[in-house]
């Protein structure tokens, strides 16, 4: 902890995570007031619909050239021949870059291995003749137009000396590997003798669940526009980790950190995929080689070839229960495919660490190394597929016990975190179930399967628990600028990939500082701003909150100093006051108040600028902090063809205070839609003979289309988490969790068939 923070902790009135609450909770109470929670429309919406919001591939530069990539067609080996002559001779070509002429660059470092590491893999980028996956870039073509670059790239030919490659999961799993840790958590958790307890249990469920590879398919293709000025590098990126990207690029190119500026004001979907991949590095290298600015925009196939996705998993869930529905044994183990050059083990045992009470527990996960593109984070990595296995097994157990699945969850609801023993900061899972069940009409579900039909269509209902952890990243800072006219600008290098960050933060800042929405500007998306946190792990909103709280404390203290002895605020300190109505007032004395404008005017100041860094996330150490939800699904399954159609869906969430009813609802719905894809349609076809992705297009990789998605209803408890800034936990990822299981459980209720192997395609139901 820094000296700054030590001093902070000793100052009365300061937010001390895990000890005191965010003062905003006290000020506004549980129901919120003013702008917070209102369904405010996206502030950037008009710009986007007018085409005035400029995305990464839309920044114009004098002398800009366009990049296209050629990809390897083998999974592992060496390039023995690389013929670029035809490409170089093609019309408009500026240069062709390969490992032979690329600038020398350091390899990226794996994300989280250092404060500036952003690598999805630590392989060097186009530095040698080595091939590590099928689809690795082997050449970059720069040309005067995109079409010329694409054509020339198609003329690059390569010869290879293949090396033995592990491209079959069945082969890879024969030599599993145990990691030291799974995202900082132990890979194995054992409480008591779970295997023994399972054998002795009155009722048992012991099943294997499989989930396939998934690929990122945000609407906006990965893109960057890059330009060098001397040794200064300017990158317009589509990014959810600006500062890490800038730091990593500086490291790769041997630059001082302040020589790299990355900005990303608008991003057309992130989901964990808009991080640092080879294309930005290659564009910077090619721009350096050419001495010209470069734009790179991957083709849809290119996204499949060089941007990782969710890896496949095989999971065992075994439950041993007493006849009255208490868990004697809870076992969740399994294996996920990974590579030797990344670290993304798909933490599917994580939900099981926190959800249910059991007398004995065994959790363990391993990885199987394959020669493939580095897999990566994809919306709720771990929890999305982990809840599929766990929540299907819980449903199977409820069926065996003859209990309603919601009643079973009531009986295994823990009083404290079942593996860490920590108290929950705020947990209202059963509330979410009960509200959801009532609204959804859960009582109409038949207990036995195959009881409802409409012609050839069997109808069933299912439910499942959603969960995602709360995290707040340290290291983020925020700057508040107040003008004499009462305008407030808050700045921090964070991200809005379309989820409404800026809109929610404007509401947050207006509520925190007690000013109208129209007086607030939120600056983000640029590394020249105070250091921000990444937009990942549903952490950004709370992390920004922590920084804005800290900056607000400095802001109030500075204003109190400026107010001096001639103010109604004379003699008051941070602990005595609150921000309200465009100024500062005594918490308990309405008469003691002075507006911001008055303070600045009397002090002869045109503006006030304060900046502070968020205090470390001590709340995460002291409490078990998670969001929860209950997913409800109704399906119709054709008895003839096995086709499954989701006919109704409802998500009932307990995610702390909701900051914007409109954008939050959209986030939840988006997660559920992605979950319907996970349940029914999405699967990457990875050819085990070649390690090549076969369905590298949106025509062949099936995300749900409009007709696959029914009307979705969203409920939320809106109960503030007393330990979280604003009382709000992240909501970006929880929506997808539990959906796979809710659909599978509904399919069982409709048909009597348990499908434990995603996606639930019709052939599995025939």
Partner 1 sequence: MNPFSYERAADAAAAIGLAKGNAAARYLGGGTNLVDLMRETVERPEMLVDVTGLPHGIEPRADGGLLIGASATNTALAADSHVRTHYPLLARAILAGASAQIRNMATVGGNILQRTRCRYFYDTAAACNKREPGAGCDARDGFNRYHAILGASPACVATHPSDMCVALAALDATVHLDGPDGPRSIALADLHRLPGDRPDIETELKPGELIAAVEIPPLPFARRSTYRKVRDRASYAFALVSVAAALDLAEDGTVRDVRLALGGVAHKPWRASAAEAALKGRPANPESFRAAAEVELAAATGLRDNGFKIELAKRTIVAVLGDLTGDEA
3-state secondary structure (DSSP) of residue 320:
strand
Q: Which of 463, 685, 740, 751 binds partner 1 (CB under 8 A)?
A: 685
Residue 638 CB, nearest approach to partner 1 (Å): 8
- CB proximity list for 126: less than 8 A, separation 6 or greater: 97, 98, 99, 102, 137, 138, 140, 278, 282, 285
Indicate the residue among 301 and 404 with the shorter CB distance to partner 1: 301
Establish if 643 lies at the interface with partner 1 (CB under 8 A): yes
Indicate the residue among 190 and 687 with the shorter CB distance to partner 1: 687
Residue 703 CB, nearest approach to partner 1 (Å): 8
Indicate the residue among 86 and 357 with the shorter CB distance to partner 1: 86
3-state secondary structure (DSSP) of residue 529:
coil
Q: Which residues pair with 233 in a beta bridge?
A: 228, 260
**Segment lying near partner 1 (by CB under 8 A), choices 78-86, 566-574, 691-699, 740-748:** 691-699
Among 53, 94, 525, 506, which residue's Cα sits nearest to residue 291?
Answer: 94
Residue 370 CB, nearest approach to partner 1 (Å): 18
Q: Is 220 part of the annotated catalytic residue set?
A: no
Task: Compute how many other C-beta atoms are within 10 angstroms of the C-beta atom of residue 404.
Answer: 16
Spatial separation of the C-alpha atoms in residues 428 and 414, rounded to whole Å: 11
Residue 81 CB, nearest approach to partner 1 (Å): 16
Spatial separation of the C-alpha atoms in residues 656 and 628, rounded to whole Å: 9
Element (H, E) at 94: strand 93-97
Establish if 692 lies at the interface with partner 1 (CB under 8 A): yes
Tokens of 282: 């290659």
Establish if 645 lies at the interface with partner 1 (CB under 8 A): yes
Indicate the residue among 649 and 653 with the shorter CB distance to partner 1: 649
Residue 91 CB, nearest approach to partner 1 (Å): 8
Interface map 294-333 toward partner 1 (x if CB under 8 A): ----------------------------------------
Query: Which 701-720 positions form the footprint of partner 1 (CB under 8 A)?
Result: 702, 704-708
Establish if 168 lies at the interface with partner 1 (CB under 8 A): no
Number of H helices and E strands in the chain, helices first, is 19, 29
Q: Which of 83, 581, 640, 752 binds partner 1 (CB under 8 A)?
A: 640
Q: Which of 681, 717, 745, 751 binds partner 1 (CB under 8 A)?
A: 681
Tokens of 67: 């990049």
Interface map 130-159 toward partner 1 (x if CB under 8 A): -----------------x--xx--x-----
Spatial separation of the C-alpha atoms in residues 183 and 51, rounded to whole Å: 39
Establish if 89 lies at the interface with partner 1 (CB under 8 A): no
Residue 692 CB, nearest approach to partner 1 (Å): 7
Establish if 648 lies at the interface with partner 1 (CB under 8 A): no
Measuring CA to CA, how many Å separate 172 from each of 349, 371, 691, 727, 759? 20, 9, 12, 44, 22
Residue 297 CB, nearest approach to partner 1 (Å): 14
Q: Which of 52, 104, 174, 689 binds partner 1 (CB under 8 A)?
A: 689
Establish if 766 lies at the interface with partner 1 (CB under 8 A): yes
Tokens of 519: 């007086």
Indicate the residue among 302 and 585 with the shorter CB distance to partner 1: 302
Indicate the residue among 165 and 394 with the shorter CB distance to partner 1: 165
Spatial separation of the C-alpha atoms in residues 736 and 303, rounded to whole Å: 22
Among 708, 717, 716, 641, which residue's Cα sits nearest to residue 675?
Answer: 708
Spatial separation of the C-alpha atoms in residues 438 and 396, rounded to whole Å: 22
Residue 518 CB, nearest approach to partner 1 (Å): 39
Indicate the residue among 48 and 645 with the shorter CB distance to partner 1: 645
Indicate the residue among 596 and 686 with the shorter CB distance to partner 1: 686
The DSSP-derived string for 150-162 is HHHHHT-EEEEEE
Q: Which of 16, 20, 38, 73 binds partner 1 (CB under 8 A)?
A: 73
Q: Which of 680, 715, 724, 742 binds partner 1 (CB under 8 A)?
A: 680
Task: Compute how many other C-beta atoms are within 10 angstroms of the C-beta atom of residue 196.
Answer: 13
Spatial separation of the C-alpha atoms in residues 332 and 313, rounded to whole Å: 12
Indicate the residue among 219 and 699 with the shorter CB distance to partner 1: 699
The DSSP-derived string for 458-492 is EEEEEEEEEEEE----TT-EEEEEEETTS-EEEE-
What is the distance in angstroms between the CA of the first residue and the CA of the last residue of the chain?
60
Task: Compute how many other C-beta atoms are within 10 angstroms of the C-beta atom of residue 493.
Answer: 25
Measuring CA to CA, how many Å separate 163 from each of 73, 76, 132, 169, 691? 13, 5, 10, 18, 13
Indicate the residue among 123 and 696 with the shorter CB distance to partner 1: 696
Indicate the residue among 132 and 729 with the shorter CB distance to partner 1: 132
Spatial separation of the C-alpha atoms in residues 751 and 759, rounded to whole Å: 16
Helical packing angle, 661-680 and 383-401, nearest 10°: 70
Options 44, 346, 391, 733, the catalytic residue: 733
Establish if 762 lies at the interface with partner 1 (CB under 8 A): yes
> Which residue's structure tokens are 């590879």?
213
Indicate the residue among 125 and 152 with the shorter CB distance to partner 1: 152
Query: Which 274-293 positions form the footprint of partner 1 (CB under 8 A)?
Result: none
- CB proximity list for 165: less than 8 A, separation 6 or greater: 74, 75, 76, 77, 371, 691
Spatial separation of the C-alpha atoms in residues 669 and 655, rounded to whole Å: 14
**Segment lying near partner 1 (by CB under 8 A), choices 236-244, 479-487, 617-625, 689-697:** 689-697
Q: Which of 45, 63, 91, 254 binds partner 1 (CB under 8 A)?
A: 91
Spatial separation of the C-alpha atoms in residues 125 and 106, rounded to whole Å: 8
Establish if 763 lies at the interface with partner 1 (CB under 8 A): yes
Element (H, E) at 618: helix 618-622
Query: Which 446-485 positions form the footprint of partner 1 (CB under 8 A)?
Result: 456
Buried b (16+ CB within 10 A) or exposed e, 205-230: beeebbbbbbbbbbebbbbbbbbbee
Residue 709 CB, nearest approach to partner 1 (Å): 9
**Segment lying near partner 1 (by CB under 8 A), choices 341-349, 371-379, 496-504, 756-764:** 756-764
Query: Which 400-439 positions form the footprint of partner 1 (CB under 8 A)?
Result: none
Q: Which of 3, 81, 219, 699 binds partner 1 (CB under 8 A)?
A: 699
3-state secondary structure (DSSP) of residue 704:
coil
Establish if 83 lies at the interface with partner 1 (CB under 8 A): no
> Which residue's structure tokens are 């304060």?
610
Residue 508 CB, nearest approach to partner 1 (Å): 38
Indicate the residue among 157 and 598 with the shorter CB distance to partner 1: 157
Residue 529 CB, nearest approach to partner 1 (Å): 39
Residue 706 CB, nearest approach to partner 1 (Å): 7
Strands (E), 473-621: 477-483, 488-491, 520-523, 577-580, 583-586, 593-595, 607-613
Establish if 171 lies at the interface with partner 1 (CB under 8 A): no
Query: Which 179-198 positions form the footprint of partner 1 (CB under 8 A)?
Result: none
Active site residues: 733
Q: Which residues of the chain form contacts with partner 1 (CB under 8 A)?
A: 73, 91, 147, 150-151, 154, 456, 640-643, 645, 680-681, 685, 687, 689, 692, 694-697, 699-700, 702, 704-708, 761-763, 766
């Amino acid at each position: 902890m820094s000296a700054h923070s030590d001093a902070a902790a000793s100052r009365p009135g300061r937010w001390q995570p895990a000890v005191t609450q965010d003062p905003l909770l006290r000020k506004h109470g549980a129901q919120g007031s003013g702008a917070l929670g209102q369904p405010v429309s996206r502030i950037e919406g008009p710009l986007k619909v007018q085409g005035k919001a400029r995305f990464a591939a839309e920044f114009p530069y004098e002398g800009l050239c366009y990049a296209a990539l050629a990809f390897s067609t083998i999974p592992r080996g060496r390039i023995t021949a690389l013929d670029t002559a035809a490409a170089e001779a093609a019309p408009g070509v500026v240069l062709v870059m390969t490992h032979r002429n690329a600038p020398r660059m350091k390899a990226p470092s794996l994300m989280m291995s250092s404060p500036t590491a952003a690598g999805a893999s630590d392989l060097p980028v186009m530095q040698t003749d080595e091939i590590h996956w099928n689809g690795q870039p082997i050449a970059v073509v720069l040309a005067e137009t995109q079409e010329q670059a694409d054509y020339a790239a198609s003329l690059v030919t390569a010869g290879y000396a293949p090396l033995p490659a592990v491209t079959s999961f069945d082969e890879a799993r024969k030599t599993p590997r145990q990691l030291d840790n799974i995202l900082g958590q132990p890979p194995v958790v054992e409480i008591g003798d779970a295997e023994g307890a399972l054998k002795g249990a009155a009722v048992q469920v012991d099943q294997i669940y499989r989930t396939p590879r998934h690929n990122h398919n945000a609407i906006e293709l990965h893109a960057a526009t890059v330009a060098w000025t001397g040794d200064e590098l300017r990158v317009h990126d589509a990014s959810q980790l600006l500062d890490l990207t800038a730091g990593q690029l500086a490291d790769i190119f041997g630059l001082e950190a302040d020589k790299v500026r990355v900005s990303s004001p608008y991003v057309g979907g992130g989901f964990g995929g808009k991080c640092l991949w080879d294309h930005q590095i290659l564009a910077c290298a090619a721009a350096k080689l050419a001495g010209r600015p470069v734009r790179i925009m991957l083709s849809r196939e290119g996204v499949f070839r060089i941007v990782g996705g969710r890896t496949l998993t095989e999971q065992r869930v075994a439950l041993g229960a007493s006849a009255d529905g208490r868990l004697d044994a809870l076992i969740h183990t399994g294996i996920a495919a990974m590579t030797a050059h990344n670290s993304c083990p798909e933490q599917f045992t994580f939900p099981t660490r926190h959800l249910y009470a059991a007398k004995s527990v065994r959790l363990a996960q391993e990885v199987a190394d394959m020669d493939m593109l580095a897999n990566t984070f994809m919306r709720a990595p771990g929890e999305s597929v982990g809840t599929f296995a766990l929540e299907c097994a819980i449903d199977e157990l409820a069926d065996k016990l003859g209990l309603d699945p919601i009643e079973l969850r009531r009986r295994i609801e823990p009083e404290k975190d079942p593996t860490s023993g920590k108290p929950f900061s705020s947990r209202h899972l059963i509330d979410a179930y009960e509200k959801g069940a009532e609204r959804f009409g859960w009582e109409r579900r038949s207990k036995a399967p195959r009881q409802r039909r409409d012609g050839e269509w069997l109808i069933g209902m299912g439910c499942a628990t959603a969960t995602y952890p709360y995290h707040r990243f340290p290291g983020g800072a925020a700057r508040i600028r107040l003008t004499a006219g009462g305008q407030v600008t808050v700045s921090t290098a964070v991200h809005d990939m379309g989820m409404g960050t800026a809109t929610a933060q404007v509401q947050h800042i207006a509520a925190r500082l007690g000013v109208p929405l129209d007086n607030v500007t939120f600056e983000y998306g640029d590394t020249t701003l105070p250091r921000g946190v990444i937009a990942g792990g549903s952490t950004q909103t709370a992390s920004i909150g922590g920084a804005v709280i800290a900056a607000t404390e400095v802001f109030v203290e500075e204003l109190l100093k400026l107010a001096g002895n001639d103010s109604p605020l004379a003699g008051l300190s941070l602990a005595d006051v609150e921000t309200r109505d465009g100024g500062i007032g005594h918490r308990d004395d309405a008469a003691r108040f002075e507006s911001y404008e008055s303070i600045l005017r009397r002090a002869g100041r045109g503006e006030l600028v304060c900046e502070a860094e968020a205090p470390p996330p001590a709340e995460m150490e002291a409490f078990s902090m998670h969001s929860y939800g209950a997913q409800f699904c109704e399906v119709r399954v054709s008895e003839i063809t096995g086709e499954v159609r989701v006919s109704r869906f409802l998500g009932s969430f307990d995610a702390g205070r909701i900051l914007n009813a409109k954008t939050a609802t959209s986030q939840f719905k988006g997660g559920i839609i992605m979950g319907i894809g996970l349940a029914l349609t999405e699967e990457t076809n990875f050819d085990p003979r070649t390690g090549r992705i076969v369905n590298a297009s949106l025509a062949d990789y099936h995300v749900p289309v409009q007709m696959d998605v029914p009307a979705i209803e969203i409920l939320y408890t809106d109960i503030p988490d007393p330990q979280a800034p604003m009382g709000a936990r992240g909501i970006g990822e929880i929506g997808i969790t539990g959906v796979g299981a809710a659909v599978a459980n509904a399919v069982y209720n409709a048909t009597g068939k348990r499908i434990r192997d995603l996606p639930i395609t019709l052939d599995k139901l025939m």
